[in-house]
Structure 1
Amino acid sequence: MPGIRHVLGLDELGIGDVKTAGGKNASLGELLRELAAVGVSVPEGFATTAEAYWEFLDANELRGLIAAQVARLRRGEPVSSVGAAVRSAILAAQLPAGLHESIRAAYRELGQRAGRRDLDVAVRSSATAEDLPNASFAGQQESFLNVSGETALLEACKRCYASLFTDRAINYREDQGFDHLSIALSVGVQRMVRSDLAGSGVLFTIDTENGFPHHVVVSAAYGLGESVVQGLVEPDEYTVFKPLLRGDTRARPITAKARGRKESKIVYSGGGERVRTEDTSGAERNSYVLDDEEILTLARWGVLIEDHYGTPMDVEWAKDGRTGELFVVQARPETVRTRQAPGSLHTYRLLESGQRLVSGIAVGDAIAAGRVCVLRGPEEIDRFEPGTVLVTTSTDPDWEPVMKRAAAIVTDHGGRTSHAAIVSRELGVPALVGAGDATRRLAPGAEVTVCCAEGETGYVYAGRLDFEERELDLAAVPETRTAVSLNLANPDAALRWWRLPADGVGLARMEFIVANHIKAHPMALLHPERLAPEDRARIAELVEGSAGGAEYFVEHLTHGAARIAASRWPDPVILRMSDFKTNEYARLIGGGPFEPAEENPMLGWRGASRYYSEGYREGFALECRAVRRVRDDIGLTNLVVMIPFCRTLREADQVIGVMAEEGLRRGENGLRVYVMGEIPANVVLAAEFAERFDGFSIGSNDLTQLLLGVDRDSAELAELFDERDPAVIASIERLVATAHANGRPVGLCGQRPSDDPDFARALVSAGIDSISVAPDSFLAVKENVLAAESEAG
């Protein structure tokens, strides 16, 4: 057919050429043409055109055959029969001579530029309706890796054409209402990046679990990228805070690094397109695939790509093990979170507890219940019962017809960028991926509850547990003069609440991060020689892959605090330094030898008194080191430090001195240091404490306990424990007045303002600057504060 351009160089294409070369190839061309100049590396290559595809169909009289097979499908014939007939006809057909020669010539030229005969290439399908804003054809067609030689390449091109009619692709077009003969296929051919010798993965320029727009989330595994995309492994996951990547900044804003299990990798098996899966080594499993510089490079590329396209992006990348170079091998718009309405917030909460059966990576933030349906492979799909919990090893596009009918999905393998995770988000079905041995531990037919509403880790509970779903209309949240901020402890859950119009975080509890993410006593990490053999072994297991116990503690605390600080940037986030009691510290791994037995830990060795003492001074140094990393290295200078249970002025001076020795000096790089107002001495000597600290945060529980001499945990004295007692209110009023007279703000963190409008009224009347509450109490507090402000006039 004269005049047809069968092949175009990728650098001749741009985003406007979807009808010519499909969404994938048009996007790659756009990257090469527009972003290579600013440092984004993309492997060169070429693409066959949509015109070439239509010529192929017409030369082999395939349009009529396809139309006849589609008619069979709509008369009730099984898709497996229809798809097999079309694919067989395509594979038996011949490429027209012009197309055949154009592909061979382009391949030879690509090999000459690379200096290699029979260059190994990646051959990818790119549909002309692919990666549209309202539909995702990703994964519907086939890709072929490590293709070498002209004969193998020509065959791979035909197999790409045939993959336009896989059963899953036919089903998807039927569901989406696309005409099968209105979509063409372009074949993209790129120089193969030898990621089999290094690693590869996916990055999103939005946090796909919660829609947080300021994160780049990078997944990485060893070997070829199919192991990540297909969910065959649990990859590493790195989170980078985007606002600190832009502009002239020395910040290194990696806010989280999670080492995946990475049990296997896909590597070359020889010539042609043959690959194999092999086990990773112990060293690989215990190491990160990427170093920090590589993580930051990919994140910066993600930001450049997002800025260019003007929308959050889904990007595949690969690292060449021969040269160490990083490449972007695919980029397309993210199609799930960007379609969701931002004006409301759905929250889920379990109302009862149950036995945890398995855990994994939570996808979404919903809860669902149902009977377990264990399927070992796609050949068992016919056994699936709608409304059950689908449990399997991993999924691929063949599973999609049943995934959309599942109450929830649980897979043994996979990470946040696996097929199961991506499709579950698109379908709005809660999922747990990377659950390890769910197919073995969950009994078929058993009633379970799948909960993804507790942070990044999701759980399968035995039985059907009661839960509630709430919808908060964010537009209806009232504005108040008094700031209302959040109490947050769990870094994994912090981003669930980023949409709340809160005024920062008034209390982030360090001890939650230590207990749930670090799990070990800091002194035990520093001095494992003082532990019993059993605890030494547990410590060794925890820190495996880290540069020692100290680095393990600092890294985990840094990333936990950074995630909370990033969730509210640039509003202030007040991190309370550790406030365990001795009995709580003793329960940490290895804690026993470092903690005394106290009759009354509530009034014992806690808070500020630990920080300068010989028994904990080294542990506090690690806490300070983590805070410095968050503020100075990562760049999250909105992090404010707060000192709890500071009894005397002398103690305040000692703590401030120790912090300075550890590089945390008030005012340096904007550092503010607050003190908890929870001891009567903090009220009586408020002016003197104000000279040493930048603000106060009232801990109403401890203040009430110490003012009234009532054990707050005593059932017998419960009627006497009242935060609205005149002595408590008078102390709050006095602290606020004195602090304001000395130019210091005062906040209060506690549950009472949400439960008690009168207490909120008393705080507003006293002139409190801010109130900090649990996220699920936020709306109630805003309403109570607004009512109090209206009364005050």
Structure 2
Amino acid sequence: MVRVQKINDVGDAGNLVRNFEHVRRSDGALVGGKNSSLGEMITALGEKGIAVPPGFATTSQAYWHYVDTNGIRKKIAALITDWQEGKSTLAETGHAVRNLFLHGTWPADAADAIKSSYRELSAKSGIENLSVAVRSSATAEDLPDASFAGQQESYLNISGEDALLDACRRCYASLFTDRAISYRKAKGFDHMSKGFVLATGLSIGDAAVSGRICLVKNAKDIDNFVDGSILVTKATDPDWIPVMKRAAAIITDHGGRTSHAAIVSRELSLPAIVGTGNSTYVLHTGQDVTVSCAEGDNGFVYSGISDITTQTVDLTKLPEKTVEAATRMVVSFMVALLEFDIGWFGCWPSR
């Protein structure tokens, strides 16, 4: 059994707020999809005279800084656990978690960073106490099978530093609206680590690994692959096998459980996540990530290096009924594979 512990480190104050002008597409794990796209647009289109609204983003580090300063991380986890175990209703859980955020206080460095950025934005626009919109920009949004559309709240016409801090606090709290909690459960997301999901797809295997991305979009660029890296590409075919043997893990945009990448990954005992839809867009060479196939049918790519531990289970110590059930599952799976092979090749056993 593999456990992946997502480590949410908080950096210095400079990593708490980012001006859009200093944000790029590769910063999605830090500021979310909307913000990273706005930053990329400002860079790409600003020089061509196309106006893109200015602004700034609070980072995922600022969020965890707020959570830990107010000591609510374990409280949130306990409330979610009670709901999952049927000890409380969804409405009760959502209300309780949101109150933890709404009654919290801002860390001084985060509050100063937000107010300073707001003053700079107001000065740039020439309007004192500029009215702004405060919106969520989740780092796990707009994934192929999980858009997170409309899950968090937006606040418009916010004017003044105190009002801005309050709106940001309420935006944090809206991460735990009833609909957002139930949506994450339906999609298989961890309520306490959503801020670090970069991509998700079908998990191949049950292992996890941390390492550095090497993005290779086309077979003609295979020679650029760095041995021991995590291979990210659109899809694979037999030409990719020599590179796949040298990879620590594999992530693809396309493919299912019977795709080439999935089959070869199983043969090589490599963790792989296939069918992400957008990995070649949101991941980039040199990026440190954790690839987790240890959390069920869905595989997750997390930002940063995680602490991975392995637990060995002695099957001889399991209850007899559990072993019998596992044996029946294996036999059923083998029968299913046989039927799949027969159907795939279009032939049947002769009588």
TM-score, scaled to structure 2: 0.51
Identity among equivalent pairs (%): 50
| Residue matched to 1:478 | none
CA distance, structure 1, for counterparts of residue 64 and residue 191 of structure 2: 13
1:3 to 9, 12, 16: 12
SS at match of 1:181: coil
| Residue matched to 1:141 | 152
**CA offsets, 1:443-475, max 9 Å, x none?**
xxxxxxxxxxxxxxxxxxxxxxxxxxxxxxxxx
**Structure 1: which amino acid aligns with 2:19?**
G
In the TM superposition, residue 32 of structure 1 has moved relative to its aligned partner by 1.1
In the TM superposition, residue 62 of structure 1 has moved relative to its aligned partner by 1.1
Residues 20 and 50 of structure 1 are in contact (CA less than 8 Å); yes or no, is this contact kept in structure 2?
Answer: yes
| Residue matched to 2:143 | 132
| Residue matched to 1:163 | 174
1:37 to 35, 43, 47: 47
**Structure 1: which amino acid aligns with 2:47?**
A
Residues 140 and 168 of structure 1 are in contact (CA less than 8 Å); yes or no, is this contact kept in structure 2?
Answer: yes
Residues 20 and 39 of structure 2 are in contact (CA less than 8 Å); yes or no, is this contact kept in structure 1?
Answer: yes
Residues 79, 13 of structure 1: alpha-carbon distance in 2 compared, 3 angstrom cutoff: same
Which aligned pairs between 1:702-741 and structure 2 lie closer than 5 A? Answer: none
CA distance, structure 1, for counterparts of residue 149 and residue 124 of structure 2: 30
**Structure 2: which amino acid aligns with 1:67?**
A
SS at match of 2:91: helix
Which aligned pairs between 1:319-330 and structure 2 lie closer than 5 A? Answer: none
Residue 63 in structure 1 maps to residue 73 in structure 2: yes
| Residue matched to 2:316 | none
CA distance, structure 1, for counterparts of residue 150 and residue 20 of structure 2: 21
Residue 119 in structure 1 maps to residue 130 in structure 2: yes
CA distance, structure 1, for counterparts of residue 18 and residue 129 of structure 2: 20
Residues 124 and 142 of structure 1 are in contact (CA less than 8 Å); yes or no, is this contact kept in structure 2?
Answer: yes
Residue 15 in structure 1 maps to residue 25 in structure 2: yes
Residues 20 and 51 of structure 1 are in contact (CA less than 8 Å); yes or no, is this contact kept in structure 2?
Answer: yes
SS at match of 1:126: coil
The higher radius of gyration belongs to 1
CA distance, structure 2, for counterparts of residue 50 and residue 34 of structure 1: 24
CA distance, structure 1, for counterparts of residue 70 and residue 159 of structure 2: 26
**Structure 2: which amino acid aligns with 1:163?**
S
CA distance, structure 1, for counterparts of residue 176 and residue 50 of structure 2: 34
Which aligned pairs between 1:268-279 and structure 2 lie closer than 5 A? Answer: none
CA distance, structure 2, for counterparts of residue 2 and residue 68 of structure 1: 26
CA distance, structure 2, for counterparts of residue 56 and residue 85 of structure 1: 17
In the TM superposition, residue 35 of structure 1 has moved relative to its aligned partner by 2.4
CA distance, structure 2, for counterparts of residue 7 and residue 120 of structure 1: 19
**CA offsets, 1:658-707, max 9 Å, x none?**
xxxxxxxxxxxxxxxxxxxxxxxxxxxxxxxxxxxxxxxxxxxxxxxxxx
CA distance, structure 2, for counterparts of residue 35 and residue 116 of structure 1: 24
**Structure 2: which amino acid aligns with 1:64?**
K
**Structure 1: which amino acid aligns with 2:191?**
H
CA distance, structure 2, for counterparts of residue 6 and residue 27 of structure 1: 18
**Structure 2: which amino acid aligns with 1:108?**
R
**Structure 1: which amino acid aligns with 2:38?**
L
1:28 to 38, 61, 67: 38
Residues 140 and 169 of structure 1 are in contact (CA less than 8 Å); yes or no, is this contact kept in structure 2?
Answer: yes
CA distance, structure 1, for counterparts of residue 114 and residue 40 of structure 2: 21
Unaligned runs of 5+ in 2: 1-9, 197-252, 255-351
SS at match of 1:61: coil
CA distance, structure 2, for counterparts of residue 173 and residue 25 of structure 1: 21
In the TM superposition, residue 75 of structure 1 has moved relative to its aligned partner by 1.0
In the TM superposition, residue 36 of structure 1 has moved relative to its aligned partner by 2.5
CA distance, structure 2, for counterparts of residue 161 and residue 67 of structure 1: 16
**CA offsets, 1:506-540, max 9 Å, x none?**
xxxxxxxxxxxxxxxxxxxxxxxxxxxxxxxxxxx
**Structure 1: which amino acid aligns with 2:41?**
L
| Residue matched to 1:179 | 190
**Structure 2: which amino acid aligns with 1:42?**
V
CA distance, structure 2, for counterparts of residue 37 and residue 90 of structure 1: 40
CA distance, structure 2, for counterparts of residue 138 and residue 33 of structure 1: 26
1:72 to 74, 82, 89: 82
CA distance, structure 1, for counterparts of residue 30 and residue 190 of structure 2: 17
Residues 31 and 40 of structure 1 are in contact (CA less than 8 Å); yes or no, is this contact kept in structure 2?
Answer: no
CA distance, structure 2, for counterparts of residue 65 and residue 53 of structure 1: 16
SS at match of 1:125: coil
Greater RCO (Cα-Cα under 8 Å, separation 6 or more): 2
In the TM superposition, residue 39 of structure 1 has moved relative to its aligned partner by 4.3
SS at match of 1:43: coil
Which aligned pairs between 1:304-319 and structure 2 lie closer than 5 A? Answer: none
**Structure 1: which amino acid aligns with 2:59?**
T
Residues 20 and 57 of structure 2 are in contact (CA less than 8 Å); yes or no, is this contact kept in structure 1?
Answer: yes
Residues 11 and 61 of structure 2 are in contact (CA less than 8 Å); yes or no, is this contact kept in structure 1?
Answer: no
SS at match of 1:32: helix
CA distance, structure 1, for counterparts of residue 193 and residue 112 of structure 2: 26
SS at match of 2:132: strand
CA distance, structure 2, for counterparts of residue 150 and residue 54 of structure 1: 21
**Structure 2: which amino acid aligns with 1:72?**
D
Which aligned pairs between 1:410-489 and structure 2 lie closer than 5 A? Answer: none
Residues 130 and 136 of structure 1 are in contact (CA less than 8 Å); yes or no, is this contact kept in structure 2?
Answer: yes
| Residue matched to 2:64 | 54
Which aligned pairs between 1:558-577 and structure 2 lie closer than 5 A? Answer: none
**CA offsets, 1:748-784, max 9 Å, x none?**
xxxxxxxxxxxxxxxxxxxxxxxxxxxxxxxxxxxxx
Unaligned runs of 5+ in 1: 186-337, 340-793
Runs of 4+ in 1 over 6 A off after TM superposition: none
CA distance, structure 2, for counterparts of residue 181 and residue 85 of structure 1: 15
Residues 24 and 126 of structure 1 are in contact (CA less than 8 Å); yes or no, is this contact kept in structure 2?
Answer: yes
In the TM superposition, residue 82 of structure 1 has moved relative to its aligned partner by 0.5
Residues 20 and 128 of structure 1 are in contact (CA less than 8 Å); yes or no, is this contact kept in structure 2?
Answer: yes
**CA offsets, 1:450-505, max 9 Å, x none?**
xxxxxxxxxxxxxxxxxxxxxxxxxxxxxxxxxxxxxxxxxxxxxxxxxxxxxxxx
CA distance, structure 2, for counterparts of residue 121 and residue 40 of structure 1: 21
CA distance, structure 1, for counterparts of residue 18 and residue 111 of structure 2: 14
Residues 19 and 128 of structure 1 are in contact (CA less than 8 Å); yes or no, is this contact kept in structure 2?
Answer: yes
Residues 94 and 176 of structure 2 are in contact (CA less than 8 Å); yes or no, is this contact kept in structure 1?
Answer: yes
TM-score, scaled to structure 1: 0.23
Residues 23 and 132 of structure 1 are in contact (CA less than 8 Å); yes or no, is this contact kept in structure 2?
Answer: no
